[in-house]
Amino acid sequence: MARIGSFPSSGAGFASSDTGWRSVSNHALEHRVNRLENDVMSIYEMLTDIKATQKRHDLNFATLATQIDELDERFDELGGRADVLDGKMGLLDGKVNVLDEKVGALDGRVGALDGKVGALDGKVNILDSKVDEILSLLKSGARGH
């Protein structure tokens, strides 16, 4: 039997002695060592699995980083296009303002012409009434002779 001072007292095959040391049989010690070896192997298997998972994650992260870079380039391209469109819209806005001013000027001219046509219409009406009066006088004078 071997004496070991650090094993817990709750394990199978362990017995307390008067000195505080625990006495362990060879069989119990071998069983404990086998369990520890199995635990170590399980830990190595878990570490191998974790390492494989980390490699997959690294690949996924690399793929995601590439996709993000591609999206970033696409957004930059779209931003450039938006800037070009914004410039063109600014030019169109300027042209529309010029056209608006021209239409405003034409509207003023049409208003002035409308006033002149109205004045001419009034004059034509006056002339028409005078011609009617002259014709009426001529008709009445022709009947009297």
Does residue 137 register a pLDDT over 80?
Answer: yes
Does residue 22 register a pLDDT over 80?
Answer: no
Poorest-confidence range of 5-19, 91-105, 110-124, 126-140? 5-19
Structure confidence by residue, pLDDT tens digits, 29-50? 999 999 999 999 999 999 999 9
Residues 6+ positions from 122 with CB-CB distance below 8 Å: none
Q: 99 or 143, which is more confident?
A: 99
What number is the average pLDDT over the span 48-73?
A: 97
Does residue 134 register a pLDDT over 80?
Answer: yes
- Please give the full DSSP string across the chain, using - where no structure is assigned: -EEESSS-TTSTTEEE-TTS-EEE-HHHHHHHHHHHHHHHHHHHHHHHHHHHHHHHHHHHHHHHHHHHHHHHHHHHHHHHHHHHHHHHHHHHHHHHHHHHHHHHHHHHHHHHHHHHHHHHHHHHHHHHHHHHHHHHHHHHHHHH-
Q: What is the pTM of this model?
A: 0.45
Does residue 139 register a pLDDT over 90?
Answer: no
The pLDDT score that the predictor gives to residue 5 is 44
Residues 6+ positions from 16 with CB-CB distance below 8 Å: 9, 22
Asked if 28 contacts 4 with a C-beta cutoff of 8 angstroms, the reply is no
